[in-house]
Amino acid sequence: MKRTLILVSLFLCLALLLGTLPLSACSKPKEKVLKIGMMTPSTGVAAEKGAPGGDGARDAIEYINSELGGVNGIPIQLLWRDSGYDAGKAATIIKEYMAEGALLFTTHSSAEMTYVMELANRAEFPGLAVYTAPNLYRPPQHIYGQLPDYGDDWSAFADYYMKNIWKGSGKPRMALHLLNNSTGYGARDAAKALADKMGIEIVATEEHTATSISETDSLNRIKAAKPDVLYISSTPKPTALIVKNARELGMFPAMTIGSGHAGLTKALVDLAGADIAEGVYGVFPTVSWGDNVPGMAKIAEYAQKLHPADVGNLDYLSNWAAALIAADILKTTLKTVSYEVLAKGNVESWRAVEKNGFQKINYDVAGLHGPAKYVAGDNRLAKSVRVLQIKGGKIVPVSNWVDAPLVKYEDYSWFGK
């Protein structure tokens, strides 16, 4: 049979050379692929997060294709891009993804998604943000959150603080130190919506940039407000700087410090130093490295083999999980939609993926974080978080998993202003 096929192929090509058949008769059949765009800030001011995140995304796609056979036997073609945490570059990338026929895309950071969500929503191009803020999907459109958002972080930490740390009378006094983008503003919005109901007084709010080299002045202003607790919602480098400066000013450890999940990674401990970061609390929506869950062994295997410096890094783990979710979205879509529809890589394909994939997913994510399950009106796929603390250079859990409740921020007149 094989010999016959070879002879037929040679005959067709000979006929092509003689001019009796069109070129298409001798061309190689187009390989089936499913295209996914994944964007991480692997260079620039957030590279301490983006570089391991990009490694995790690429390694997971390699695992999916080489060991799982892709999706229903169809390999995933990864369109990975480094945004540099830059708005202009991110916008260019999203246009490239749409032009190249990607079926969905992910961004590592909420800032990246903030840069591109208007373009994506207008085109009905579905996106998944690994790290999220309420502005990305309130009210819901075509952007989804892999994990609970920075507002959910704040409310989970605040609840834990009230129940387990605060021992004073009256309302505890909380200060906020926020990165000047969606990473910080998500926590700010949660505090505006919920602090009074939770019995917390916000006494100071400061903002910082990703390139800050000193926050002594802002911390002195916070110190004057006499807070009991400081909540930081930022990336690892500025978070480490603020913790260092708070130590130098004698504010910490007398004052409790909590961090949102964007900052609470191995990079924070490495940048601040284990002794400086000792005692910092934070929130994170994934399991820790080494936890006994089904997906941990493969993550450890691939990281050790391909990117050993990323072992223990939660940004690597989060983006690995994002790739698993993206693959499951496509697998779910293909239960009711033909490959031919997806092969178009256009708005028809995107609508099919959103309706039949994003909005029908029910996936355990190999135990790496809460199940990815869509609930109508809530574009967060996973909703579980837990509180952790830095102890002896390790980030260890100090609470059980809790589901973050849905907050309809769009019902507040100040939201988005």
pLDDT range class, residue 87, cuts 50, 70, 90: very high
75 and 162: one domain? no
76 and 185: one domain? no
- 109 within domain boundaries: yes
- 417 within domain boundaries: no
- 416 within domain boundaries: no
Q: How far apart are CA 242 and CA 219, in angstroms?
A: 8
Q: What pLDDT sits at residue 417?
A: 86
The number of domains in the chain is 3
Please give the average per-residue pLDDT across 87-104, as a whole number. 98
Backbone phi, then psi, for 115, in 5-degree steps?
-65, -35
**Full residue range of the structural domain in which residue 171 is found:** 151-284+388-411
pLDDT in tens, 210-252: 999 999 999 999 999 999 999 999 999 999 999 999 999 999 9
What is the CATH number for 366? Answer: 3.40.50.2300
162 and 279: one domain? yes
Q: How do strand 362-363 and strand 372-373 relate by DSSP bridges?
A: antiparallel
262 and 407: one domain? yes
* Residues contacting residue 103 through CB under 8 Å, at least 6 positions apart: 34, 35, 36, 330, 342, 345, 349, 350, 353
pLDDT in tens, 58-85: 999 999 999 999 999 999 999 999 999 9
157 and 75: one domain? no
272 and 185: one domain? yes
142 and 161: one domain? no
- DSSP 8-state secondary structure symbol assigned to residue 251: -
Q: How do strand 127-129 and strand 104-107 relate by DSSP bridges?
A: parallel
Q: How far apart are CA 337 and CA 325, in angstroms?
A: 18
- 396 within domain boundaries: yes
- 221 within domain boundaries: yes
- 232 within domain boundaries: yes
104 and 131: one domain? yes
Please give the average per-residue pLDDT across 268-273, as a whole number. 97
- 97 within domain boundaries: yes
Q: What pLDDT sits at residue 13?
A: 44
20 and 98: one domain? no
pLDDT in tens, 361-405: 999 999 999 999 999 999 999 999 999 999 999 999 999 999 999
3-state secondary structure 153-199: HHHHHHHHHHHHHCCCCCCCEEEEEEECCHHHHHHHHHHHHHHHHHC
pLDDT range class, residue 2, cuts 50, 70, 90: very low
pTM: 0.90
Q: How far apart are CA 404 and CA 396, in angstroms?
A: 20
89 and 230: one domain? no
197 and 170: one domain? yes
Query: What's the token pair of residue 51?
Result: 């570089």
Q: How far apart are CA 358 and CA 351, in angstroms?
A: 10
Average pLDDT across the chain, whole number: 94
Query: What's the token pair of residue 221?
Result: 């202003």
In whole angstroms, how far apart are CA 101 and each of 79, 82, 200? 10, 18, 48
- 336 within domain boundaries: yes
pLDDT in tens, 293-348: 999 999 999 999 999 999 999 999 999 999 999 999 999 999 999 999 999 999 99
